[in-house]
Structures are given as C-alpha cells and as structure tokens.
Structure 1
Amino acid sequence: MSVQVSLTGLSFLVSKEDTKSVVFFTEKKYTSKATPEELLVDISSVISNDLKDLHPFSEVVVIYATHLYTIVPTPLFDESKASDYLKFNSKILANDFISFDTIENKDITSVYVPYVNINNYFFEQFGSFKYYHASTLLIKSILDLEKYTIEPTVYINVSEEIFDFIVVKNGSLLICNSYLYKTPEDFIYYILFCFEQLKLDPDLVKTIILGNINKGDDTYNILFKYVRNIDFLKTIQPIFFSNTDDTHHNFLLKAII
C-alpha cells in the first residue's frame, strides 16, 4: 500500500507485488488546505473502511508531497544541523520533527518535515513502514531516466496549488524547487523566472510535464504559449488507475510499484 499525502489531497494505492497490477486506487482533493489533523481523519477512514478487507500489506509506503523541504549535497549534510538547512526557505516551528532521505550514489539529501501524527498512526497500525519526501522519488526517478542525457531537460510536476521544477543536465541535478501558485499566471511566472535564471531557452529546451495537467487545462495552455518544446512524460510502466488516468498522472505512486 502506498499513500501520498499533501495539504491539498490524498491518494491511496494498493498493488500486487508479483504482477504489479492495481488492486485499489482512490484519491481525495480538498477545496482548501487541510491540516495534518484533518488529513489523519481521512486517512484513518479510508484504511479502516475501504481497505479493511485488503489487510495485511507486505509493504506500506507514505509519500509526503509538501513544499517543506530543501535539497542538500550529501557531502555537506550534517544530521545534527538538519533544521538549519530548512529555516532559510521554509517556515518551521521549533518543535517540528526534521527527517531526511539520501539518494544513494547521487550525493543528494532531501531534508523535510513529515507529519508526526500521521507517522505515529501508520506505526501504530502497521509497525514498520517506509516514508519519503516526494522530491526524493522525483529526483531519483528522473535521474535514472536521464542518466545518459547531455543537454538540459526540464521536468514540471504539477499538483493542486504547487508544482515541482526540476532540471537535469549531463545526468546530474541542476535544480529542484517547488512553488506555490493560485492562478495560471502565477504558474508561468515562476517557470519563466527559472528559465531565465538558468539561462534556458523556453523555445528550445526539452520540457517534460507530469502530474495533474492535461491538454486544454489553463495551466497547459499558458505553459504552451511561452514554452514550446513540451511533452507529457511517458512512464516506463504503462499503469492506469482509472479510465481517465494517463501515463503522466500519479507518477510518484507509479514510481514505487
């Protein structure tokens, strides 16, 4: 079972380990940002009701898709100073629990704030479980896809009110940032700012989009107006969660099947 957690929605996936087939999938979107306490109520409800007949699970994974993170080169990372890496670009509290993921063989560490109440719930229900920040899975998956690519490639992972902007070149990570947005104009402003800062030509650079974006969406239309060489991600696993699903949707959940 895999659960993706964000303040704007939840996604649940149960798949068979041997066949990689989907047994159960559901998602919930919020019209306004939820609190960790509200998220836990909905998580508990789905697991206790919708998934009660599917227990036990051979593996449980939680993915935190939030903007409370930062990327640090592993050789510079000091676990005792984990909060220091976050406090300059994220609003954290003194009692926040700080966690980190290390991407093996890439010298990349993602430092982030998981939700302790949700972690405690999963530990109480299932004992041992794994949890990651979304940036960890995105970066690892994209670097694996682009390990032989020389020219820069842009990846834009779109969610409700937040998107991830990742650039790789020569098989290495150039940038991984997340931006909050309300309107399509906000969306394209941050993207074009990144292109400008990285000196990337929006007419030429290969740009891959994934997540909650489709042709005809306002976000897609304004992106295509200013960034011309765009395409949807073609995943290596053609897994579909519903009749309206596509290969570029729910990439994080598909990445760990």
Structure 2
Amino acid sequence: MSSTVPAASLAPAALHRLRDETLDPGQLAAYNLYLTAGPAGLRLGVADVQRNKFLVLEEYAAPEAGTTLAQQVQALAAEHDLLGRPGWNRVRLAVHNRAFTLLPAPLFRPGDETAYLRLHHALDGQHESVHAYTHKGLDVVSLFAAEKPLTDWFARTYPAGRLVHRTSALLQGVVQQSEQNGPARVYLSIGPQQLTVLVMRGKRPEFCNVFPYSTPEDLIYYTILVMQELQLDPDQDLVMVWGDLMHDSELFTILRKYIRNLRFGNRPFDLSYSYRLNDLFEYRYFELFALHLCE
C-alpha cells in the first residue's frame, strides 16, 4: 500500500520570523506581499501600503535534496497564516537563478521571449516557463526562465501578481540609490553559491550577470574579471556589497584584500522598516525590500 507524504511535512524550517505587532492579518488589502525564491531558500516580506513600511520579514531554509522550490512554497502555504491567502493589495515574486538576460527595450518583440533566452540558456520547455519584465524608465527588458510548477502555483494563487527575476529587484534598488551622472560603480549581491555582479554608470546598467562560485577565490576571480573587462580599477572604483556574508567571513576577507574601495550597501531609501528588523544587518535582504520598487 502506498502512502502520500503530507505537503506540510515538506515545509522548510524558519530561520527568521520577524513581525511588527501592528500587522493586521484581517486587512490584507492594506499590505503588499513580497517573496523571493532561489538557492538561498524562501524569503517573505510584508509592507504597509499607506505607511510605506516593512512590517514582516521571514526567511526559510533552502529546499532539502529531492525537494523543489515549488514543493517548498506549497508546503509552507498549506500551514502559513499569510502565504497563499488572497486579498493582498499587491504581490511580487522574484526568482533567483542564472537563466536570465537583459535586453534593450527597443529590440524586444513580444512573443520572441523564448528565442531571446535560448541564446543564453538551454531552456527546458517541459519544466521551465519563460517570462518578461519591463523596467520602465530604463528602456530595459528582463527575460528569464523559472521553475514551471512554481510559476503555475503563483499564477493560480495570485492571478494579479507579478513575477520578476531577482536581478530586476537588485537593479531597481540600485537605480534608486544612484546619481544621474555618477561614475561607474560595481554592485555585488552574494548568495549561496551564486554571485550577482551589476555595473552601473550613473543610472544606466552596463553589465549584469550571475556567476556560480564554490570558494572565496571563485568569488574574487569573477569580480576582478568583470572589473578588468570594463576597465575599472579595484584600487579606486567603488564596489558595494549586499547579501549573505558576515564582516568576519572568508568571502568578505578576500574581497577586502583585493578591493580597496569596498562598502556594505544600505536598504532601499524612501521606505521605513519596523523596529523588529533593527537587529538585521542593513546589507541583507536588499532584493526582498527592493521588490517594493518593482511595478
């Protein structure tokens, strides 16, 4: 006799569950729900629309071997008091993977998303779906693939929700903090085994890619390689860092060894954050917060 494992048994362990006591789960129309899903696991944020303020941050462990992101999200939604519920003012989900590209908006033709993406990614049409997100004001379109069961669940659960790539949240957050005619700067977002490198000149993106890494040496190699290709100087040009690292970690140590002008990034501006988030480092969860800037 076969047995079915209950969905809730696949629910991931909570690493952080921070909530402001002013959150009213009975008034979801007053809030926006933000989600990021990828190798680092699932992260959830809730922002009060009227106060422009983040009230909730929750982080869940990455899926265990043999468990997909879609199974993780659905299992969590089965027992969560917020995730999976309808009635939100706005919902955004950002997926984190290497299957994406940025295209100048004048070159984009709706309907050709798959053809564009195949130039950069070996698409698995059976298990992946292709999506596009337009960065208004930047003349840039993000094309990306996502796990089909995850996107199917999201479309069923939140028909009016918006799906984006995690690099789009990073880009929107960096644009908000950039000067119109500022110098070239390098922005790093560091996650488990994935490094995102974004290079901006003023408010214009010049380079964006996600690299795999397994050692601190890999991480600094890709960072220096990009800087050299764009004729940037590790001794002078600013490198801003966000992500999952500590001040005393090997990753930060090797970055500091080879890059002189290195700084940790801040949270997105023009937003406020519950006091419950005060104990978190400012440079963490940037993309989750920056989803608030994605239309």
TM-score of the superposed pair, with normalisation by structure 1: 0.89
Range with greater deviation from structure 2 (182-191 or 52-61):
52-61
- Whether the 8 Å contact between 1:4 and 1:65 is mirrored in structure 2 is yes
- 1:106-129 CA-partner distances (Å, limit 9, x unpaired): 111111012221222123233321
- Whether the 8 Å contact between 1:147 and 1:172 is mirrored in structure 2 is no
Other-structure match for 1:247: 282
Other-structure match for 1:89: 120
What is the root-mean-square deviation of aligned Cα atoms in Å?
A: 2.3
Return 5+ residue gaps in structure 2 as ranges: 1-32
- Residues 15/140 of structure 1: CA separation in 2 closer, same or farther (3 Å cut): closer
Cα distance in 1, alignment partners of residues 278 and 153 from structure 2: 32
Higher Cα radius of gyration: 2
Cα distance in 2, alignment partners of residues 137 and 53 from structure 1: 20
Range with greater deviation from structure 2 (94-103 or 225-234):
94-103
- Residues 26/195 of structure 1: CA separation in 2 closer, same or farther (3 Å cut): same
- Whether the 8 Å contact between 1:238 and 1:247 is mirrored in structure 2 is no
- Whether the 8 Å contact between 1:239 and 1:254 is mirrored in structure 2 is no
Among all aligned residue pairs of Structure 1 and Structure 2, give the percentage whose two residues are the same amino acid: 20
- Residue identity in the other structure for 1:51: D
Q: Residues 1-257 of structure 1: matches in 2 within 5 Å?
A: 1-30=33-62, 38-52=68-82, 55=85, 56-95=87-126, 96-235=128-267, 236=269, 237=271, 239=273, 242=277, 244-257=279-292
Range with greater deviation from structure 2 (136-145 or 59-68):
136-145
* CA shift for structure 1 position 67: 1.0
SS at match of 1:142: helix
- Whether the 8 Å contact between 2:182 and 2:203 is mirrored in structure 1 is yes
Structure with the greater relative contact order (CA < 8 A, sep ≥ 6): 1 or 2? 2
SS at match of 1:174: strand
- Whether the 8 Å contact between 1:2 and 1:253 is mirrored in structure 2 is yes
- Whether the 8 Å contact between 2:197 and 2:209 is mirrored in structure 1 is yes
TM-score of the superposed pair, with normalisation by structure 2: 0.78
How many residue pairs match? The answer is: 255
* CA shift for structure 1 position 252: 1.2
